[in-house]
Amino acid sequence: MRPARIAAAAAAAAARLYVVSRLYRRRRSQIPRLDVGRFVRGTAAERQAAAEAFDSAFRDIGFCLLTGYESLLPDAVVAALRTEAEAFFSSLPAEKRRAHHDGFIGYLAVGAENVGASAGTPSALPDLVESLSLSGFQEAGQEWNWDEQKGAPWRDAPYARALPPALHRAAEDYWRGATALLRALMELSEVALDLPRGHFDASFARPGTLLRLAWYPPSPKTPEGQWRYGEHTDYDGFTILQRAE
């Protein structure tokens, strides 16, 4: 996303948080790396340098690899969510279906998604993916139901209460850390765009988010026209992808 579009997207006060197994099949050396910790804890000069690197990455390529975010989203929190998510997706279908809500939120089995349809170009066959989507989006007229002490906005939703307790805790910890990272990225965007400090605060005081856990089961042969996850566009502020090594 180019910097000029970041400001427009921020008006929607939304950012999607995804945990996925892959980013792109590009060599790491081709993707700019950004040390978020250098911005969060650095001197004024270091913060400015990080913002300039951020600006350059999104002007030239459109994404970057984040490093140094452990003070916001610790490695142990990421590892715990991966462990519990793998256990959940490896469980019996009937147990997973308890967390189903609709065609977008909660658990979705393989064959339930065709994400290309969101851009008007559905693929010939459904996507080969299982997912669990925990929604922090707020419906019109509803009060915001999250604060720093109580936890994620989806914590009491029926589909979330149906999750194994360990997964529920791990997802809340990850959501809290990823939301802190999101806010750091919005502050970084302010500096990169030469905007007043706090420009995005009101829009992201109650951030609409989606924490999506994606599981790609083994598939020895993929039919023509079949995608793991089809071509699509994310319409929100930032998509943060947690890469597998």
Q: What is the mean pLDDT of the chain?
A: 81
Q: What is the pLDDT of residue 51?
A: 96
Residue 54: is its pLDDT beyond 80? Answer: yes
What type of residue is 122?
P
Amino acid at 117: A
pLDDT of 143: 56
Provide the pLDDT for residue 139. Answer: 54
pLDDT at 19: 34
DSSP string, 68-112: S-TTTS-HHHHHHHHHHHHHHHTS-HHHHHTTB-SSSSEEE-TTS
| Cα–Cα dist 127/151, whole Å | 32
In tens, the pLDDT along 225-242 reads 677 787 777 777 788 888
| CA distances in angstroms from 240 to 57, 144, 236, 243, listed in the order given | 15, 22, 11, 9
Tokens of 227: 């995608």
Q: Are 176 and 154 in contact (CB under 8 A)?
A: no
Q: Is 17 helix (H, G, I), strand (E, B) or coil?
A: strand
Share of the chain above pLDDT 90, in %: 49
- What is the pTM for the complete model shown? 0.80
Sequence spans of domains, the chain? 3-242
Nearest residue to 62 (alpha-carbon basis) of 26, 38, 35, 37: 26
> Is 210 a residue whose pLDDT tops 70?
yes
What does the pLDDT read at residue 38?
A: 93
User: Which of 45-59, 114-128, 200-214 has the highest average model confidence (pLDDT)?
Assistant: 45-59
pLDDT for res 25: 45
Q: What is the DSSP letter of 119?
A: G
**Tokens, residue 226:** 């079949």
| H/E segment holding residue 59 | helix 44-60
Specify the pLDDT at position 133: 94
**Which region holds residue 111: left if phi is over 0, alpha if psi is between -120 and 50, else beta?**
left
- Tell me the pairing of strands 65-67 and 130-135: unpaired
Q: Rounded to the nearest 5 degrees, what angle is found at the Cα of 177, between the Cα atoms of 146 and 4?
A: 90
Query: In terms of C-beta density within 10 A (0-12 exposed, 13-18 middle, 19 or more buried), how is residue 180 classed?
Result: middle
Residue 148: the pLDDT is 59
CATH number of 3-242: 2.60.120.330
* Residue 20 pLDDT > 60: no
List, for residues 70-112, the tens digit of each pLDDT value. Answer: 999 999 999 999 999 999 999 999 999 999 998 889 999 998 8
pLDDT value at residue 240: 87
Residue 38 C-alpha from the chain's centroid? 22
Q: How far apart are CA 96 and CA 37, in angstroms?
A: 37
Residue 228 tokens, joined: 């793991």
